């Protein structure tokens, strides 16, 4: 296992467990596919790596903080565009946490360590609000959270 300095982005869909029973399996699969498609496309555009899809969120890594913040911003913008045309029950509401730190990268490319843990904690501390801008939403470059689009 190698230790590397990475910028970690953790996304989580708000209310996904409760919504899963309300929308049915086919619609849940469609929402998951939309989220997956948006996240993977943005990661490719911003030099990010999608480490894993967790069913209602993603773990991504970046070599650059500016690329990670750009990705968070683009994900939120694209979610807002999707939500504008989606039925209320099928809308996506994401929280995104960003952290930078050393992580252990295993042979399969998965990451573990304090940086990944902190990105998850930061995401969970984020408020569900309308997106303004990545800079205005970040009180500091570390232990910060990108606000969600509703």
What are the Cα distances from residue 33, in Å, to 53, 75, 88, 119?
11, 14, 17, 23
Checking if the pLDDT of 142 tops 60, the result is: no
Whether 97 and 121 have beta carbons less than 8 Å apart is answered as yes
100, HSE (Cβ side, Cα atoms, 13 Å): 13
Q: Domain ranges for the chain, please list them.
A: 2-146
**Higher per-residue pLDDT: 118 or 13:** 13
What topology is assigned to 2-146 in CATH?
Alpha-Beta Plaits (3.30.70)
CA 117 to chain centre: 14
Whole-number Å distance between alpha carbons of 130 and 13: 15
**Higher per-residue pLDDT: 21 or 27:** 27
| DSSP letter assigned to residue 63 | S
Q: What percent of the chain has pLDDT over 90?
A: 27
Question: Beta 111-112 vs 144-146: how paired, if at all?
Answer: unpaired
Checking if the pLDDT of 79 tops 70, the result is: yes
Beta-strand runs (E) in 19-122: 49-53, 58-62, 94-105, 111-112
**Higher per-residue pLDDT: 148 or 127:** 127
pTM, two decimals, is: 0.74
């Amino acid at each position: 296992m190698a230790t590397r300095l990475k910028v970690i982005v953790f996304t989580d869909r708000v209310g996904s467990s409760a919504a899963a029973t309300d929308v049915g399996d086919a619609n849940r699969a469609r929402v998951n596919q939309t989220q997956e498609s948006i996240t993977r496309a943005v990661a490719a555009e911003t030099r990010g790596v999608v480490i894993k899809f967790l069913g209602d969120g993603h773990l991504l890594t970046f070599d650059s903080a500016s690329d990670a913040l750009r990705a968070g911003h683009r994900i939120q913008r694209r979610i807002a565009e999707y939500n504008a045309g989606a039925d209320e029950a099928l809308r996506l509401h994401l929280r995104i946490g960003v952290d930078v730190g050393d992580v252990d990268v295993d042979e399969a490319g998965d990451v573990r360590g304090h940086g990944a843990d902190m990105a998850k904690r930061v995401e969970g501390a984020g408020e569900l609000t309308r997106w303004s801008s990545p800079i205005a939403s970040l009180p500091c470059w570390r232990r910060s959270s990108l606000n969600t689009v509703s």
